[in-house]
Amino acid sequence: MIVKDKVSWVRLLFHFRGSSFMETWPRILTVTFAAMIVTYVELYYNVQAYTLTTTPFLLIGVALGIFLGFRNNVSYDKFWEGRKLWGALVNTSRNLARQVCFLIDASHDSEDVQQFRELFVKHVIAYGHALRCHLRNEDPAEQIKHFLSVEDLATVLESTHRPLTILHQLGRDLAVARDRHWLHELNFPFMDAQLNELSNILGGCERIKNTPIPFSYSVLIHRIVASYCLFLPFGLVETTGVLTPIVVLLISYAFFELDAIGDEIENPFGLQPNDLPLTAISRNIEINLLELINDPNRPEALKPENDILL
């Protein structure tokens, strides 16, 4: 995610890092060059047979604007829902850590109970890192090996669904605490409900990742945008004359950028500049939870590099 302090309006006009322009400029130059050829032929050779009016482009432009707006709204809904799910992950992780520290019976505050608390909290930390790697198709071994026992780590790495396996281990640990009477029967449902919430967050994130906008809809939008911009000079040259390439440049920039933004934020869990900063969020969870168990080996919060927070 791009993280910047307030930038002046003038600087924003010339700011390209993190924008879709780096992806769309070849398309924009292509249609602008085509507009230059059409304008030259129409004006220099006085060819009027293939000149169109602006009416069909006005009608198509309105419909295209509606389609692009709808598509971008759908993409942003996925982006915002992903952010809410990761916000819920932060809150649920904190709740679990707080509950394991205070709902475990204080009369059993032995070395075994203290060790259990620390291991449980570290399992929650490992879950956040494993979920991030799961959504980004990364190997979580290096991220979670410091928070799991050798046996649990081996079990997680051998599984096909690492976050779900860690969630299963958290449920197992709660059952152990209940059976040993460290956790009261009346408090067990409250902590189990937090594990259910972690499972719901996992399912919600997988739904966003694995349910793209229908391919046929995306193809249609791309084709209409490309066709509209390529044929636009035929409808403008009679009205705008030699300025036709400039007008096409501006209009194609708007349409191609809107089209590219919808593609970019459709999957908010990636590593593009405008995607969600999952690494920073999971690092903050790690810092907060290690502080609750008084672990001195807490990492530093991630800072943006070149204004980008991963």
Residue 232's identity, in one-letter code, is L
> Please, what is the average pLDDT of the chain?
88
Cβ contacts of 176 within 8 Å, gap of 6 or more: 116
State the pLDDT at residue 48. 64
Per-residue confidence band for 109, with pLDDT thresholds at 50, 70 and 90: low
pLDDT over 90 (residue 123): yes
| Distance of alpha carbon 178 from alpha carbon 35, whole angstroms | 74
Beta partners for residue 104, in sequence order: 183
Split at pLDDT 50, 70, 90, the class of 238 is: confident
pLDDT of residue 7: 66
The alpha carbons of the chain give a radius of gyration, in whole angstroms, of 27
Q: Write the pLDDT tens digit of every residue in 61-74.
A: 888 888 888 888 98
Q: What mean pLDDT comes out for the span 21-34?
A: 90
Q: What per-residue confidence (pLDDT) applies to 138?
A: 93
Give the model's pLDDT for residue 147.
94
3-class SS at 208? helix
Would you tell me the crossing angle of helices 150-158 and 162-179 to the nearest 10 degrees?
140
Q: Is 181 left (phi over 0), alpha (psi -120 to 50) or beta?
A: left
Interhelix angle 21-44/244-264, nearest 10 degrees: 150
pLDDT reported for residue 239: 84
The answer on pLDDT for 253 being more than 80 is yes
Contacts of residue 194, Cβ cutoff 8 Å, sequence gap at least 6: 92, 95, 96, 99
Checking if the pLDDT of 106 tops 70, the result is: no
Contact 254, 31 (CB under 8 A): no
Give 97's pLDDT tier (boundaries 50, 70, 90).
Answer: very high
Q: How far apart are CA 129 and CA 54, in angstroms?
A: 54
- Whether 38 and 240 have beta carbons less than 8 Å apart is answered as no
- Residue 218, pLDDT > 80, answer yes
Among 62-66, 83-87, 235-239, 270-274, the range with the most confident prediction by mean pLDDT is: 83-87
Q: How many CB atoms lie within 10 A of CB 67?
A: 17
pLDDT at residue number 46: 73
Please check the confidence at residue 130 and state whether its pLDDT lies above 90.
Answer: yes
Q: Tell me the per-residue pLDDT of 9-24, one tens digit each, with 9 for 90 and over.
A: 667 666 777 678 888 8
Q: What is the pLDDT of residue 249?
A: 93
Mean pLDDT of 249-270: 89
pLDDT of residue 107: 60
> How close are the terminal C-alpha atoms of the chain, in Å?
6
pLDDT surpasses 60 at 108: no
pLDDT above 90 for 114: no
Give the pLDDT of residue 203: 96
Query: Which phi and psi angles does 104 have, rounded to 5°?
Result: -70, 130
Q: Given a cut of 60, is residue 41 above it in pLDDT?
A: yes
Q: What percent of the chain has pLDDT over 90?
A: 51
Query: Which is more confidently placed, 54 or 192?
Result: 192
Q: Please compute the mean of the pLDDT values over residues 276-292 and round it to a whole number.
A: 94
